[in-house]
Chain A
Amino acid sequence: MRVSLKWLNHYCALENIKWEDVRDTLTELGLEVEGVEHLEPVAAKVVVAEVMTCEQHPNADKLRLCQVKTDASETWTQVVCGAPNVRAGMKVAFAGLGAVLPGDFKIKKTKIRGIESTGMICSQQELRISDEHDGILELPASAVPGTPVAELVDIADTVFDIGITPNRADCLGMIGVARDLAARMELELSLPAEAQGDLASLPSGPLVELRTASASARFCAVQVEGVQALSSPAWLQQRVLAAGMRPINVIVDATNFVMMEQGHPVHAYDAGKLTDEGFVVRDALEGESLEALDGHKYTLGRNDLVVCNGASQIVGSPLMGGEMTQVGPTTQSIVCEAAHFDPLVVRKMSKRLALRSEASHRFERGVDEYACQRVVKRLATLIVQVMHELGVHGARIASQVTDIHRQPKSLARIGLRVERARKLLHLPQLKKAECIAILERLGCTKLDETDERILIEVPSYRADLTREIDLIEEVGRIYGLDRIRYIAPQTVYTGEKESCYVPFVDVVRSAATSAALVETILVPFVGTTEYAALGLDSSSPFMPTIELENPIQAQAAKMPSLLLPLLLKAVDHNRRKGQPGARLFEIGKTYMSRAQLNADAMGLSYIADLAQGDSFCGLPNTSPAVRQRPVVERRKLGIVLDGPAQEKTWQSRASIDLDFFTIKAKVAQVLASAGVEGFRFRLVPEKGYPFLHPKAAAEILVGEKVIGFLGELHPQTLLNLGLRQHPPVVAEIDLDTICSQGNVGKLNVQPKLRQFPPLVRDFAFSVPQQVSYADFVSAIDAFKKKKNLKSYRLFDLYLGEGLAPGQKSLAWKFVFESDEKTLTDKEVDKESRHLLAHLEAAIDAKQR
Chain B
Amino acid sequence: MEKLNKLAIELEQTSESLKLQPDPAAVEAFRIEWLGKKGKIAGLYATMKEIDAADRREAGQRMNRLKQNAESVLEQLEQLCVQSQVQQSLQREPLDVTLPVAEHMQLGSHHPVSLMRRRVFEIFHRLGYVVYDGPDIEDDFYNFEALNIGKDHPARDMADTFFLRSHEYVLRTHTSNTQIHGMLGRTPPIKMISAGRCFRVDNDATHSPMFHQVECLAVDRGLSVGHMKGLIETFLSELFGSRVKTRFRSSFFPFVEPGAEVDCECVLCGGAGCRVCGHSGWIEIGGCGMVDPNVFEAVQIDSEEYSGFAFGFGIDRMAMLAFGLPDLRDLFVGDTRLLSQFPDQPYFSH
**Which positions in A face B, CB cutoff 8 Å?**
27-30, 32, 165-168, 343-344, 347, 364-365, 423-426, 467, 469-470, 472-473, 476-477, 481-482, 484-489, 491-494, 496-499, 501-502, 506, 509-510, 512-525, 546-552, 559, 566-567, 569-571, 573-574, 577, 579, 582-584, 586, 589, 591, 615-623, 626, 629-631, 633, 645-647, 649-651
Cα A518 to Cα B133 with chains together (Å):
23
Cα A165 to Cα B258 with chains together (Å):
14
Using A491-B127, A548-B171, A582-B336 as known contacts, say yes or no to A472 and B136 having CB atoms under 8 A apart.
Answer: no
* Cross-chain contact of B335 among A497, A566, A577 (Cβ < 8 A): A577
Task: Find out whether the CB atom of A584 lies under 8 angstroms from the CB atom of B336.
Answer: yes
Q: Nearest Cβ distance between residue B66 and chain A, in whole angstroms? A: 41
Chain B residues within 8 Å of A619, by CB:
132-134, 178, 181-182
Task: Find out whether the CB atom of B248 lies under 8 angstroms from the CB atom of A481.
Answer: yes
Chain A residues within 8 Å of B128, by CB:
491-494
B20-28, B38-46, B70-78, B201-209 - the one binding chain A: B201-209
Q: Given contact pairs A425-B258, A499-B132, A618-B134, enumerate 17 new A-B contacts (beta carbons under 8 Å).
A: A32-B249, A165-B251, A347-B154, A424-B224, A484-B226, A487-B224, A492-B189, A494-B130, A519-B110, A519-B342, A520-B339, A548-B164, A552-B201, A582-B336, A619-B181, A620-B186, A622-B181
Task: Find out whether the CB atom of A166 lies under 8 angstroms from the CB atom of B154.
Answer: yes
Task: Find out whether the CB atom of A489 lies under 8 angstroms from the CB atom of B109.
Answer: no
Chain B residues within 8 Å of A502, by CB:
131-133
Cα A546 to Cα B199 with chains together (Å):
15
Q: Nearest Cβ distance between residue A651 and chain B, in whole angstroms? A: 8
Task: Find out whether the CB atom of B118 lies under 8 angstroms from the CB atom of A476.
Answer: no
Chain A residues within 8 Å of B152, by CB:
344, 347
Task: Find out whether the CB atom of A547 lies under 8 angstroms from the CB atom of B335.
Answer: no
Task: Find out whether the CB atom of A426 lies under 8 angstroms from the CB atom of B226.
Answer: yes
* Chain A at the B interface: SS class: loop
Task: Find out whether the CB atom of A573 lies under 8 angstroms from the CB atom of B189.
Answer: no
Task: Find out whether the CB atom of B108 lies under 8 angstroms from the CB atom of A514.
Answer: yes
Cα A571 to Cα B260 with chains together (Å):
42
* Cross-chain contact of A510 among B166, B189, B344 (Cβ < 8 A): B344
* Cross-chain contact of B133 among A467, A492, A499, A517 (Cβ < 8 A): A499
Chain A residues within 8 Å of B331, by CB:
521
Total residue contacts A-B, CB cutoff 8 A: 267
Cα A805 to Cα B50 with chains together (Å):
72
Using A28-B249, A426-B224, A620-B132 as known contacts, say yes or no to A489 and B333 having CB atoms under 8 A apart.
Answer: no
Task: Find out whether the CB atom of A469 lies under 8 angstroms from the CB atom of B293.
Answer: yes
Cα A521 to Cα B328 with chains together (Å):
12
Task: Find out whether the CB atom of A513 lies under 8 angstroms from the CB atom of B110.
Answer: yes
Task: Name the residue of chain A whose CB is nearest to the CB of B186.
Answer: A621
Q: Nearest Cβ distance between residue B305 and chain A, in whole angstroms? A: 12
User: Any chain A CB within 8 A of the CB of B230?
Assistant: yes
Task: Find out whether the CB atom of A516 lies under 8 angstroms from the CB atom of B105.
Answer: yes
Chain A residues within 8 Å of B259, by CB:
473
Cα A522 to Cα B227 with chains together (Å):
37
Cα A591 to Cα B274 with chains together (Å):
42
Task: Name the residue of chain A whose CB is nearest to the CB of B247.
Answer: A482
Task: Find out whether the CB atom of A574 lies under 8 angstroms from the CB atom of B258.
Answer: no
Task: Find out whether the CB atom of A573 lies under 8 angstroms from the CB atom of B335.
Answer: yes
Task: Name the residue of chain B whose CB is nearest to the CB of A557.
Answer: B165
Q: Nearest Cβ distance between residue B161 and chain A, in whole angstroms? A: 8
Task: Name the residue of chain B whose CB is nearest to the CB of A627.
Answer: B135
User: Any chain A CB within 8 A of the CB of B99?
Assistant: yes
Cα A179 to Cα B101 with chains together (Å):
70
Task: Name the residue of chain A whose CB is nearest to the CB of B167.
Answer: A549
Task: Find out whether the CB atom of A582 lies under 8 angstroms from the CB atom of B334.
Answer: yes
Task: Name the residue of chain A whose CB is nearest to the CB of B169.
Answer: A631
Cα A549 to Cα B224 with chains together (Å):
41
Using A165-B251, A552-B209, A631-B137 as known contacts, say yes or no to A522 and B332 having CB atoms under 8 A apart.
Answer: yes
User: Any chain A CB within 8 A of the CB of B257?
Assistant: yes
Task: Name the residue of chain B whose CB is nearest to the CB of A505.
Answer: B133
User: Any chain A CB within 8 A of the CB of B261?
Assistant: yes
Task: Find out whether the CB atom of B293 lies under 8 angstroms from the CB atom of A494.
Answer: no
Bitwise, B249-269 to A at CB < 8 A (1) or not (0) is: 111100001111100000000
Task: Find out whether the CB atom of B164 lies under 8 angstroms from the CB atom of A30.
Answer: no
Task: Name the residue of chain A whose CB is nearest to the CB of B117.
Answer: A506
6 pairs of A and B residues whose beta carbons are closest in the complex:
A618-B133, A570-B334, A426-B226, A513-B108, A30-B250, A165-B252
* Cross-chain contact of B252 among A166, A489, A521 (Cβ < 8 A): A166
Task: Find out whether the CB atom of A469 lies under 8 angstroms from the CB atom of B292.
Answer: yes
9 A–B pairs (Cβ distance < 8 Å), ordered by A = A30-B250, A470-B257, A521-B212, A546-B164, A548-B171, A549-B163, A552-B203, A566-B334, A579-B337
Task: Find out whether the CB atom of A621 lies under 8 angstroms from the CB atom of B185.
Answer: yes
User: Any chain A CB within 8 A of the CB of B191?
Assistant: yes
Task: Name the residue of chain B whose CB is nearest to the CB of A615.
Answer: B135
Chain B residues within 8 Å of A32, by CB:
249, 251, 261
Chain A residues within 8 Å of B189, by CB:
492, 494
Task: Name the residue of chain B whose CB is nearest to the CB of A483.
Answer: B248
Cα A497 to Cα B130 with chains together (Å):
7
Using A476-B258, A620-B186 as known contacts, say yes or no to A550 and B201 having CB atoms under 8 A apart.
Answer: yes
Interface centre among B154, B158, B259 (most CB of A within 10 A): B154
Using A469-B257, A552-B203, A577-B337 as known contacts, say yes or no to A481 and B102 having CB atoms under 8 A apart.
Answer: no
User: Any chain A CB within 8 A of the CB of B82?
Assistant: no
Q: Nearest Cβ distance between residue B203 and chain A, in whole angstroms? A: 6
Task: Name the residue of chain A whose CB is nearest to the CB of B282.
Answer: A27
Task: Find out whether the CB atom of B162 lies under 8 angstroms from the CB atom of A550.
Answer: yes
